Structure 1
Amino acid sequence: MAVHLNHTIVPARDRDETAAFLVDVLGLDPAPIYGPFRVVTLGNDVSLDVIQSDGPVPEQHYAFLVSDEEFDQIWGRIKERGLTFWADPYHRQPGRINTNDGGRGLYWSDPNGHNLEIITVPYGGG
């Protein structure tokens, strides 16, 4: 049997704001409520289950593999919203994208400081 990731929990200071941010920038369907979560469903049926956290929110990294067309659309929404983006995960190259592994990639932050990434080619050149 193959093992597939089904969902992961994304802690947030504001569950609804974070889910709306992800849906908006990534161009996804609205995130319904399921119990204490806002469920952001990705194209491969994996979900980011956003939950309200009353305590500190540890910063996490979430990477999304997208097509070239989706990359352009997401990058466009990032720029339209005036969000800062970087070519690297350490945020040392602002306003640039990378061409690692023969694809394109960029990083930006969500309202909680989570480090978000889009790439068009998996690490190692896919």
Structure 2
Amino acid sequence: TALTELGFTATALSTGTAPSAASIDNAVAAARGVDAVVVGTYNVTATGSQKTLVERLVATGVPVVAIAIRNPYDVAQLPDVRAYLATYSWTDVELRAAARVIAGSARPRGRLPVEVQRADDPTKALYPIGYGLTY
């Protein structure tokens, strides 16, 4: 994985875009006892099971970093995730860039090209166009 290449001990576990209950259980079991979990999301609202996966991972108490690998809208559905990146794609270039940010060897920068609406009230913005954190 991109994190392994940066010196981290990491295990990749694929659950797909519509993880089954068994896949979610396996991911949660794998998350126990690790220092952190990095999970990619891809249109969480499509099936609901991705949201369940992330919620269950967060419930383990292990720090979770979520990466939106399609678009930034997933963040509105996952309010309990404390660290969130949007890469807009799943190619090696984007995933390696996300790994460098997680590792602290690159600084995140960028601004949202779209407005992300609140999940509980889509008439209100959670993050406006141009929002972004840089450090």
TM-score higher than 0.5 here?
no
Larger strand fraction of residues: 1
Structure with greater contact order relative to length (CA < 8 Å, sep ≥ 6): 1
Larger helix fraction of residues: 2
Q: TM-score w.r.t. structure 1 length? A: 0.28
Q: TM-score w.r.t. structure 2 length? A: 0.27
